[in-house]
């Protein structure tokens, strides 16, 4: 396969509810949509970087820049391009996993479309639908939080994840537990908001029977996570800390986590995401698919990833309606707590030209 051209497009999707985490508040999802033109047809992808370098060091316009300035020229100069070759070709460029992941996803989509194969089958998926949960942001009041959780449980989500930070942890978790009962699968995500001196405080979460506590400490601080794991009953799950399969092996060896959140953008692509999955499986550790408020493009690909056998917990892959009133693809719906894995070739979904045009804020073309 040869790359013949590319289109970089910024889209802007207002969120149905502001999404507040310990990192900040988001009211709109700006995303970078990539369309590659290859000798065998087109391929689509999105880059999951946020507007600002908060969750990770990447940010959307920076990701677009490294893609246009370095990644695409390198790939446009190649005679033979295949999905596994993307990481090799871009291996000399350090960092930028979300930008690399977007490029790899578009090449995967193009080559699987040409081969008539779906991404789930290609990755080794074993499920036609995957169990899903919802990530609930920090709210101004406990009542507001209970209202949201009630709505999501009624919609059938199989797991509720509460964003926490110092000052918003024990009380909201207690309120949700007491209101909705012990059978609700409940987790918390701190997005690195705590320090080692908070360990005693975090142990206070043990009484609520949480499925896991996600990323309480800084990304590079495996040591504090390992210490917490020795004194807390609740399993520790890592998100920001795991940027490769090698990181996953290191974290597991050090006892820093017993569950892993896998996000393809964070680890540099769907192929590395599968390797993280394989490392976890070898350790007998469950994984689940994280989310980055993706458009329908990223959601489709994440559903394929989450169909792999090691994805044992509901993913942060919610219905389109949980994020946006309008998406660039056909909407995804939740039925009995599950979302169907798209069945078509490639990522199994194509943006609608209509929706794309309505939500696009800028377009740029690249050719050899």
Active-site amino acid positions: 163, 263
CB 257 to Mg ion: min, Å:
12
Query: From the CB of 41, what's the least distance to ligand OSB, in Å?
Result: 29
Specify the stretch interacting with ligand OSB by CB under 6 A; choose among 70-78, 168-176, 202-210, 285-293: 285-293
- C-alpha span between 337 and 335 (Å, rounded): 5
Pattern of binders to ligand OSB over 209-248, x per CB under 6 A? ------------------------------x---------
By CB under 6 A, which span of 58-66, 268-276, 291-299, 339-347 interacts with ligand OSB? 291-299
Please answer whether residues 157 and 318 qualify as being in contact, where contact means their C-beta atoms are separated by less than 8 angstroms: yes
Q: Which of 22, 38, 120, 135 binds ligand OSB (CB under 6 A)?
A: 135
- Residue closer to Mg ion, measured from CB, 58 or 214: 214
Contact status: 111 vs ligand OSB (CB under 6 A): no
The CB-of-59 to ligand OSB minimum distance in angstroms stands at 13
Q: Contacts with ligand OSB in 184-213 (CB under 6 A)?
A: 189, 191
Instruction: Based on the shown chain and the rule CB under 6 A, indicate whether residue 310 belongs to the binding site for ligand OSB.
Output: no
Are 21 and 240 a contacting pair, CB within 8 Å? no
Name which of 225, 206, 223 is nearest 215 in CA terms: 225
- Residue 327 touching ligand OSB (CB under 6 A): no
Pick from 316, 342, 350, 359: which binds ligand OSB (CB under 6 A)? 316
Question: What residues line the site for Mg ion (CB under 5 A)?
Answer: 189, 214, 239
Positions that interact with ligand OSB (CB under 6 A): 55, 135, 189, 191, 239, 290-293, 316, 318
């Amino acid at each position: 396969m040869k790359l013949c051209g590319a289109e970089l497009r910024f889209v802007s999707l207002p969120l149905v509810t502001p999404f507040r985490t310990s990192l900040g508040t988001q009211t709109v999802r700006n995303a970078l949509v990539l369309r590659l033109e290859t000798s065998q047809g087109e391929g689509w992808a999105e880059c999951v970087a946020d507007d600002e370098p908060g969750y990770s060091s990447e940010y959307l316009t920076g990701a677009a820049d490294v893609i246009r300035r370095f990644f695409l020229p390198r790939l446009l100069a190649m005679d033979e391009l295949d999905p596994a070759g993307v990481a090799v070709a871009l291996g000399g460029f350090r960092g930028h996993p979300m930008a690399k992941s977007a490029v790899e996803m578009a090449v995967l989509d193009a080559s699987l479309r040409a081969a008539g194969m779906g991404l789930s089958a290609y990755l080794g998926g074993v499920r036609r639908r995957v169990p899903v949960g919802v990530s609930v942001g920090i709210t101004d009041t406990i009542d507001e939080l209970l209202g949201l959780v009630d709505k999501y449980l009624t919609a059938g989500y199989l797991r509720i994840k509460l964003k926490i930070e110092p000052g918003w942890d024990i009380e909201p978790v207690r309120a949700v537990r007491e209101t909705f009962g012990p059978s609700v699968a409940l987790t918390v995500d701190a997005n690195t908001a705590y320090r080692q001196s908070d360990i005693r405080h975090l142990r206070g979460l043990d009484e609520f029977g949480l499925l896991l506590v996600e990323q309480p400490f800084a990304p590079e601080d495996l040591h504090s996570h390992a210490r917490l794991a020795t004194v807390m009953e609740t399993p520790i799950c890592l998100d920001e800390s795991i940027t490769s399969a090698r990181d996953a092996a290191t974290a597991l060896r050090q006892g820093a986590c017993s569950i892993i959140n896998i996000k393809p953008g964070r680890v540099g692509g769907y192929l590395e995401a599968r390797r993280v999955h394989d490392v976890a499986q070898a350790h007998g550790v469950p994984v689940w698919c994280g989310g980055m408020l993706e458009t329908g493009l990223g959601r489709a690909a994440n559903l394929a990833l989450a169909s792999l056998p090691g994805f044992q917990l509901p993913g942060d892959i919610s219905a389109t309606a949980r994020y946006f009133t309008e998406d660039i693809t056909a909407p995804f719906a939740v039925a009995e707590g599950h979302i169907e894995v798209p069945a078509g070739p490639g990522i199994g979904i194509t943006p609608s030209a209509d929706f794309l045009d309505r939500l696009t804020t800028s377009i740029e073309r690249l050719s050899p």
